[in-house]
A = this chain, B = another copy of it.
Amino acid sequence: NTPSMLILPGDGIGQEVMTEVQRVIAWFGDKRDVKFDVSEDLVGGAAYDAHGTPLTDATMAKAQEVDAVLLGAVGGPKYDDLDFSVKPERGLLRLRKEMDLFANLRPAQCFDALADFSSLKKDIVSGLDIMIVRELTSGSYFGEPRGIFEEDGQRVGINTQRYTEAEIDRVARSAFELARKRNNKVCSMEKANVMESGILWREVVTAVHKADYADVELSHMYADNGAMQLVRAPKQFDVIVTDNLFGDILSDCAAMLTGSLGMLPSASLGAPMANGRPKAMYEPVHGSAPDIMGQSKANPCACILSLAMALRYSFDLGEEATRLEKAVETVLAKGIRTGDLMQADGGKPVSTSEMTDAIIAELQAS
């Protein structure tokens, strides 16, 4: 039976880039006989507008059933004043938590053709290829107690950083497994000099390494130094594994090193389902970019490359994934670019759909 995908375009440019992804999915069906049963639904502000909640139970149930979820982006100024409990982000966080997508894979890769876009010197970033593995279902994002409480006549804001051994163990394994397919190096980041949760993190990562991954090179770094080293000499890293909150910040820092946020995909993976495929959600790293919404300016590459990650990690179609990634690279190498990838003096940008046209043409030629 045909593998299934649920597409959740979400808000802002999410809808536009997902339309392009659908075209690429159609190409794979027509030309490569790689077929998917695709359905579409609402998340984030779009779901709130329709149903008063950023994710309905029905959509949540669908996400649990499919082989992979593709998500566009959530949020926008329109929703800034909504109550915390119904903000667009809550839809995304509910998906991560209830699908138990504990391993968030965020490649920070600098495309040769785009190395000049980085705010960093070219020699510091060209050829950069880091994989950040961020724990995604625990830590300060989800720990209890949490909330704003009254105490001695004033309010107190509380969140709880909380990690069990099992939570650290499983994400560490994901990182080591990935490293084995890459350059065999893992750097684990925490604040073990200040936080007990960091001490446990370091201990468990060390134990997993010793027990089952002694062939992988493991190092530890305090997260503040990690931020420094990412800026100073990012190419020293292969795989970085870190917790939810540090991972949020460090992966965005790493993403910006590449200079082209509009290019970066991500995968969020959970435990294997009955059919052996991992629970999975794929999404571009960029946000909903409400400022350019509806103007055919959005760069579809990050979302298309998220589809490539889906082909690789959910459907074991590594060759097709590589085909798609190479098509994107070739298009860039030919100088075809959406507006976000143009230098001030760089000629005329292509539109969102023209970018996809070019990628599909390369797929066709490949």
- Chain A residues within CB distance 8 Å of chain B: 75, 84, 87, 89, 93, 119-121, 124, 140-141, 143, 146-148, 151, 154-166, 191, 193-201, 223-228, 230-233, 245-246, 248-253, 255-257, 261
State the oligomeric state as a number of copies. 2
Q: Is the CB of A195 within 8 A of B159?
A: yes
Q: How far is the CA of A191 from the CA of B142 in the complex (A)?
A: 13
Q: How far is the CA of A194 from the CA of B88 in the complex (A)?
A: 11
- In the complex, what's the smallest C-beta–C-beta distance from A134 to chain B, in angstroms? 11
Q: Is the CB of B248 within 8 A of A197?
A: no
Contact residues in B for A197 (Cβ distance below 8 Å): 157-159
Q: Is the CB of B120 within 8 A of A199?
A: no
- In the complex, what's the smallest C-beta–C-beta distance from A161 to chain B, in angstroms? 4
- In the complex, what's the smallest C-beta–C-beta distance from A179 to chain B, in angstroms? 23
Q: Is the CB of A162 within 8 A of B156?
A: yes
Q: Is the CB of A253 within 8 A of B233?
A: no
Of the A-B pairs whose beta carbons lie under 8 Å apart in the complex, a sample of 11, sorted by A's number, is A119-B233, A140-B161, A140-B194, A147-B196, A148-B199, A156-B163, A156-B164, A158-B196, A227-B250, A228-B252, A228-B255
Given contacts A194-B141, A253-B253, contact A200 B154 (CB under 8 A): no
Residue in B89, B201, B228 whose CB lies within 8 Å of A253: B228
Q: Is the CB of B200 within 8 A of A157?
A: yes
Q: Is the CB of A196 within 8 A of B160?
A: no
Q: How far is the CA of A154 from the CA of B156 in the complex (A)?
A: 30
Q: How far is the CA of A120 from the CA of B256 in the complex (A)?
A: 12
Q: How far is the CA of A147 from the CA of B197 in the complex (A)?
A: 7
Contact residues in B for A201 (Cβ distance below 8 Å): 157
Contact residues in B for A255 (Cβ distance below 8 Å): 228
| CB closest residue in chain B, given A243 | B157
Q: How far is the CA of A156 from the CA of B201 in the complex (A)?
A: 10
8 tightest A-B CB contacts, nearest first: A157-B200, A157-B197, A227-B253, A231-B256, A224-B252, A228-B256, A159-B161, A154-B165
Q: How far is the CA of A311 from the CA of B200 in the complex (A)?
A: 42
Q: Is the CB of B157 within 8 A of A158?
A: no
- In the complex, what's the smallest C-beta–C-beta distance from A251 to chain B, in angstroms? 8
Residue in B157, B191, B256 whose CB lies within 8 Å of A227: B256
Q: How far is the CA of A250 from the CA of B156 in the complex (A)?
A: 24
Q: Is the CB of A154 within 8 A of B164?
A: yes
Residue in B159, B232, B246 whose CB lies within 8 Å of A119: B232
Contact residues in B for A227 (Cβ distance below 8 Å): 227, 249-250, 252-253, 256
| CB closest residue in chain B, given A116 | B121
Q: How far is the CA of A191 from the CA of B141 in the complex (A)?
A: 10
Given contacts A84-B199, A158-B160, contact A191 B231 (CB under 8 A): no
Taking each of A84, A121, A195, A246, which has the highest tally of chain B beta carbons within 10 Å of its own beta carbon?
A: A195
| CB closest residue in chain B, given A247 | B224
Q: How far is the CA of A191 from the CA of B244 in the complex (A)?
A: 12
Q: How far is the CA of A155 from the CA of B168 in the complex (A)?
A: 11
Taking each of A159, A165, A226, which has the highest tally of chain B beta carbons within 10 Å of its own beta carbon?
A: A159
Taking each of A120, A156, A225, which has the highest tally of chain B beta carbons within 10 Å of its own beta carbon?
A: A156
Contact residues in B for A120 (Cβ distance below 8 Å): 119-121, 231
- In the complex, what's the smallest C-beta–C-beta distance from A226 to chain B, in angstroms? 8
Contact residues in B for A151 (Cβ distance below 8 Å): 164
